Amino acid sequence: MTGSAPTTETIRFPVAGMTCGSCVNRITRALRKLDGVTRVSVDLRRETATVSREPALVSNAALAAAVVGAGYEPALDAAITVPTATSRGFLARFFGG
């Protein structure tokens, strides 16, 4: 056993087809079921999903399949990596920047 912690990354990607809070809940539940997903935030207004994951355990294809299975259209080809909280300054973390 190695002493290193699992590597995690946070990505944000567009999701088309959301119209209400139930859509947000459906996508959130689908993504949280995946092994390796540690945090999910779905933003209806921005039509995005932000997922913290262990890339060795959950791929972009698995994320896409979960969102499609919930009835929505993910655009993982447009995914961006979100900097971790420790790499951003306090004010950026506080104001969500």
- Residue 70 is predicted with a pLDDT of 97
pLDDT tens for the chain, 97 residues long, are: 455 556 899 999 999 999 999 999 999 999 999 999 999 999 999 999 999 999 999 999 999 999 999 999 999 999 999 987 655 556 665 665 5
- Residue 26 is predicted with a pLDDT of 98
- Domains in the chain, CATH or no CATH each: 9-82 (3.30.70.100)
What residues have CB less than 8 Å from 43, skipping those under 6 apart? 24, 49, 50
The predicted model scores a pTM of 0.80
What residues have CB less than 8 Å from 28, skipping those under 6 apart? 40, 41, 42
Cα 21 from Cα 39, distance rounded (Å): 18
